[in-house]
Amino acid sequence: MKPLKARRIRQRITPYLLVTPTIILVGVFVYGVVNGVLQGFGIMPFLGRTELTLDYYIEALNRNDFLASLNYSLYLSLTSAVLALIGGIALSAALTRVRASRTIQLFNIQIPLMTAHTIVALFLVSLFSGSGLFPRLLYWLGMIDDVGAFPSIIGGASGWGIILVYLWKEIPFIAFYTATIMMHVSSRYGEAANTLGASSLRSFFSVTLPLCRGALTKASLIVFAFAFGSYEIPFLLGPTLPKALPVLAYLEFQNPDILNRSYAMAINGIMALICCIAALAYFLVLQRERKERKSDD
């Protein structure tokens, strides 16, 4: 009787032991984010400041470069997420359609996944800067006359260099995230629809794609949040003005006056808020998937 009881207790606490290390690490993550956001409200216990104030947020919102930065960041990340979603669906569907071998997947998905964003920025510079390979090709074809006639991707306000970096990285990421489920769905339901007489295009759009909706939404939310919050690419390829939000925040953060950090943290707080909306959408998708799992059982 006794060992059985002990085993039952052990079984009951097992899941909690299994999740503890993750909870500690995610706890550190949340602590860091919350601590940053609180500093934006002027709460810096390490400097003896514990009074909550909205001044920094108000000041940040009133700065004339802030709204331009916010718009610019939203433009970059939304454009990247939407285009990456379209490209990712196409890549995933193409891989499913030709039943890609491991080698094809390696080159189309794994290599882009393995390449750091900063290296992709280097690619873009080598190909599309004023003296890059692409302008050389245009010159050779007689379409431009001189070095510099091609619009440089570095510092351009249109940000297409930045968007291209994200597309190069995230189209394969979305395909990576959805190809497995798409192959599964397609072989299970898509082909059934084909046998019942639907064209493969129709069965893709009315059967396969809707069944992958959850995974696609999650993947594009991740892409949006990443493009919205990352520092390296807009720093390397972005224009002087407007700066992307993370670049603006880090600039304020680096100011030797430590009180100035509160401005940086207020900007971070607004970024975190926007990403929380993305997180909420992600949570809703998870909830729906859970319900679907339950109704499957």
Q: How far is the CB of 15 from other proteins (least distance, A)?
A: 4
Could you tell me if 93 and 244 are in contact, meaning their C-beta atoms sit under 8 angstroms apart? no
Q: How far is the CB of 63 from other proteins (least distance, A)?
A: 18
Q: How far is the CB of 191 from other proteins (least distance, A)?
A: 8
Does position 199 interact with other proteins (CB under 8 A)? The reply is: yes
Name which position in 140, 257, 296, 297 contacts other proteins (CB under 8 A): 140
As given in the structure block, the two tokens for residue 175 are 């395909």
Angle 252-257-263 (CA atoms, 0-180°, nearest 5)?
35
As given in the structure block, the two tokens for residue 136 are 């050389």
Does position 31 interact with other proteins (CB under 8 A)? The reply is: yes
Q: Which x/- pattern, by CB under 8 A, does the window 33-52 give for other proteins?
A: xxxxx-x------x------
Does position 264 interact with other proteins (CB under 8 A)? The reply is: yes
Taking contact as CB under 8 A, which single stretch among the options 49-57, 62-70, 206-214, 276-284 is the one that binds other proteins? Answer: 276-284
Does position 23 interact with other proteins (CB under 8 A)? The reply is: yes
| Residues in 212-251 at the binding interface with other proteins, rule: CB under 8 A | 221-222, 225-226, 228-232, 236-237, 246, 249-250
Q: Compute the distance between CA of residue 68 and CA of residue 159 in angstroms, rounded to an integer.
A: 14
Does position 275 interact with other proteins (CB under 8 A)? The reply is: yes
Could you tell me if 124 and 153 are in contact, meaning their C-beta atoms sit under 8 angstroms apart? yes
Q: For residue 99, give every residue at least 6 positions away whose Cβ sits within 8 Å of its Cβ, in sequence order, or none.
A: 183
Name which position in 6, 30, 58, 67 contacts other proteins (CB under 8 A): 30
Does position 18 interact with other proteins (CB under 8 A)? The reply is: yes
Name which position in 9, 58, 147, 157 contacts other proteins (CB under 8 A): 147
Environment class of 139 (CB within 10 Å of its CB; exposed 0-12, middle 13-18, buried 19+): middle
Name which position in 6, 7, 9, 25 contacts other proteins (CB under 8 A): 25
Name which position in 60, 70, 85, 124 contacts other proteins (CB under 8 A): 124
Does position 133 interact with other proteins (CB under 8 A)? The reply is: yes
Q: For residue 156, give every residue at least 6 positions away whose Cβ sits within 8 Å of its Cβ, in sequence order, or none.
A: 239
**Mapping DSSP to helix (H, G, I), strand (E, B) and coil, where does residue 49 land?**
strand
Q: Compute the distance between CA of residue 165 and CA of residue 84 in angstroms, rounded to an integer.
A: 11
Does position 265 interact with other proteins (CB under 8 A)? The reply is: yes
| Residues in 94-123 at the binding interface with other proteins, rule: CB under 8 A | 94-95, 97-100, 104, 107-108, 110-123
Name which position in 93, 182, 193, 207 contacts other proteins (CB under 8 A): 93
Q: Count residues binding other proteins (CB under 8 A).
A: 102
Across 64-94, b (16+ Cβ under 10 Å) vs e yields eebeebbebbbebbebbbebbbebbbebbbe
Q: Compute the distance between CA of residue 66 and CA of residue 70 in angstroms, rounded to an integer.
A: 6
44 DSSP β-pair partners: 49
Could you tell me if 165 and 82 are in contact, meaning their C-beta atoms sit under 8 angstroms apart? no
Q: How far is the CB of 177 from other proteins (least distance, A)?
A: 8
Does position 174 interact with other proteins (CB under 8 A)? The reply is: no
Does position 179 interact with other proteins (CB under 8 A)? The reply is: no
Q: Which one-letter amino acid corresponds to residue 116?
A: A
